[in-house]
Amino acid sequence: MRYLITGGAGFIGSTLAETLLKKNQEVCIIDDLSTGRFENILPLKLYAPHFSYHIESIFSPVLAELIDYADVVFHLAAAVGVRLVVSHPVETLETNIRGTERVLALARKKKKKILIASTSEVYGKSDQIPYREDSDLVFGPTTNSRWSYACSKVIDEFLALAYYRKEQLPIVIFRLFNTVGPKQVGNYGMVIPTFIQQALNGGPIIVYGDGSQTRCFAYIDDVVWALRHLANEEKAVGEIFNIGSTEETSIVQLAQKIRQKIDPNLSIVFKPYEDAYEKGFEDMKRRIPSIDKISHCIGYNPVHSLDQILEKTIAHFKTL
């Protein structure tokens, strides 16, 4: 099979690419390196001629050819990370809405299968825990730029579903919940690499808010497994799936675990959200996926615990 991965130089895209290449598949990636990193592409070059790459944006004319070449497209190119989204709201909306619109329009011509990345952010501040794919989505006001990310991805989902219903385009939508692992970098606010880096630098570990907010962290290999199996499962077409872990932890517990594993003497300090992001910033108090739907569809069963994830990620950071 030939796969095209938009955003393939990112943390998730490059890990997916490597896994597919190891399984003797052909992979092409396109990435403008806005948040993706060339060093994620380097190890993939060993797989040439099964691997090729284009350092271009998804608005480049070459995208049409690349989609024609592919049997399956993973559309991961997007503005990601809450810090980036809050600081660059125009680019977030442009890339996430116009970019996906373009990918879908090009895929339509030859009815290419396309898997569209969405996010747990779309559940917003809903308190219907755990979040099911058919749960209501609850956002705050448009003056708070955090919600622009969720709204842009909701538009992507509507567009993809519309193409499926009206044009029989084979689409699959997946909502990622806090995917983590060794190659993830903390530049865009992601909490685990940020805490580990702070701890390895001698602290303090800086927790936003009071730290009682909770998240479930999914290990990259479990997520990539889900993506590969969704791509091959006919029953997944036209559907939306959560991909995540159900092991809930508060952010202060996370900080304590990382401190314990790196240096128990480090201090943990608390920073108000307004100082960390922007005035009026709203955080989700709890975020837990229901994974019933994806478990029934492809037998998804994430196997990595938070402790294992932290050990692997800390070990990787120590090698840098």
Of 64, 82, 59, 74, whose CA–CA distance to 27 is shortest? 74
Q: Are 162 and 238 in contact (CB under 8 A)?
A: no
Query: Whose Cβ is closer to ligand UDP: residue 60's or residue 246's?
Result: 246
Q: Reduced to 3 DSSP states, what percent helix, strand and coil does the chain have, rounded to the nearest 5?
A: 45, 20, 35
Start-to-end CA distance of the chain, whole Å, equals: 34
Residues 273 to 312: which contact ligand UDP by CB under 6 A? 283
Lookup: tokens for 115: 């898997």
Q: Least separation, in Å, of the C-beta of 212 and ligand UDP? A: 10
Q: Which is nearer to ligand UDP, 237 or 284 (CB)?
A: 284
User: Minimal distance in Å, beta carbon 152 to ligand UDP?
Assistant: 14
**Exactly one of 144, 213, 246, 249 binds ligand UDP (CB under 6 A); which one?**
213
Distance CA 216, CA 179 (A): 9
Considering the candidates 47, 149, 219, 277, report the single residue annotated as catalytic: 149
Between residues 102 and 215, which has the closer beta carbon with respect to ligand UDP? 215
Q: Where in 15-74 is the site for ligand UDP (CB under 6 A)?
A: none
Distances (CA, A) of 146 to 94, 122, 163, 165: 15, 11, 27, 30
Min dist. Cβ of residue 220 to ligand UDP (A): 14
DSSP string, 83-139: HHHHH-HHHHHIIIIIIHHHHHHHHHHTT-EEEEEEEGGGGBT---SSB-TTS--B-
What is the CB neighbour count within 10 angstroms for residue 143?
8
207 part of the interface to ligand UDP, by CB under 6 A: yes
Bridge partners, 2 (sequence order): 26
Nearer to ligand UDP, 165 or 285 (CB): 285
Alpha-carbon distance of 162 to 159, in angstroms, equals 5
Interface with ligand UDP in residues 137-196 (CB under 6 A): 178, 189-191, 194
CB of 73 to ligand UDP, least distance (A): 25
> Has 149 been annotated as catalytic?
yes
Q: What is the DSSP letter of 267?
A: -
Q: Give 25 or 214: the residue with its C-beta nearer to ligand UDP.
A: 214
How many residues in the shown chain lie near ligand UDP by CB under 6 A?
13
Rounded Cα–Cα distance for residues 267 and 231 (Å): 44
Interface residue with ligand UDP, options 129, 155, 200, 206 (CB under 6 A): 206
**Do residues 107 and 169 make contact, with C-beta atoms less than 8 angstroms apart?**
yes
Contact flag: residue 100 with ligand UDP (CB under 6 A): no
Residue 262 lies near ligand UDP (rule: CB under 6 A):
no
Site string for ligand UDP, 222-261 (x = CB under 6 A): -----------------------------x----------
What's the min distance (Å) between Cβ of 198 and ligand UDP?
8
Which residues neighbour 42 within 8 Å (Cβ) at sequence distance 6 or greater?
none
Binding to ligand UDP (CB under 6 A) within 70-99 occurs at: 82
Q: 114 vs 258, which CB is nearer to ligand UDP?
A: 258
Residues forming contacts to ligand UDP in the complex (CB under 6 A) are 82, 178, 189-191, 194, 206-208, 213, 215, 251, 283
Catalytic positions? 149
